[in-house]
Chains A and B, each alone.
Chain A
Amino acid sequence: QKEVEQDPGPLSVPEGAIVSLNCTYSNSAFQYFMWYRQYSRKGPELLMYTYSSGNKEDGRFTAQVDKSSKYISLFIRDSQPSDSATYLCAMGFRDYKLSFGAGTTVTVRA
């Protein structure tokens, strides 16, 4: 069993829809949780970072962490074609030693 399981997708949504992305994990020691966005043939870029349970909001993005269920989510509101990318969840018990999900590819249709 992988330490981090990510819903594989792919997801295709119309512009303006809410995108919901999910990951589960097995290591209860994980306390740092991140979401990265990766455009085709580019390096991942950090979107959200949190180390506590609950919600964190940044503009159109909301990260949700439920440590009791070992489950994290990323919501993208009012999705735009520029949000079309692969989204990677990442987590670890140290924020410099991360385990990544396999990624979910999202396409936002104009």
Chain B
Amino acid sequence: NAGVTQTPKFQVLKTGQSMTLQCAQDMNHEYMSWYRQDPGMGLRLIHYSVGAGITDQGEVPNGYNVSRSTTEDFPLRLLSAAPSQTSVYFCASSYSGGYTFGSGTRLTVV
């Protein structure tokens, strides 16, 4: 039982590049979310999904897109990377009763 799997674990991008952070869960969870974590600011919600085909914006959605074509997968796409998107990104899934988090992707934009 793998839980929530995020890839890659580390990534360096140049300003203006695009990329997709992958997230997959094998627990048949209905809810999935993407958070970013920055020093002193805690976790901030980027986008979330309450089921396949349904997504919505969180607190800091600008510069990011998501889609949820299956229950298992919830990729996060950076459209045109900016240095302000340097952060640690966490994907999480839940049925109810609290989230299970992945191990994170450390992204640096130079």
Contact = CB atoms under 8 A, between A and B. Distances in A.
A62 to B, nearest CB: 17
B90 A43 contact: yes
Interface residues of B, number: 27
Contacts of A42: 103-104
Contacts of B48: 96-97
Contact of B94 (A4, A88, A96, A103): A96
A102 to B, nearest CB: 4
Contacts of B30: 96
Contacts of B43: 44, 88, 90, 98, 100
A100 B43 CA distance: 6
Contacts, number: 58
B45 A103 contact: no
B42 A45 contact: no
Given A42-B104, A49-B98, 14 more contacts: A43-B92, A43-B101, A43-B103, A43-B104, A49-B97, A88-B42, A88-B43, A96-B94, A97-B33, A97-B48, A98-B33, A101-B42, A102-B40, A102-B42
Interface of A: 4, 6, 34, 36, 41-46, 49, 88, 90, 95-103
18 contacts: A41-B104, A43-B101, A43-B102, A44-B90, A44-B101, A49-B97, A49-B98, A90-B43, A95-B96, A95-B98, A96-B31, A96-B94, A97-B33, A97-B58, A100-B42, A100-B44, A102-B41, A102-B42
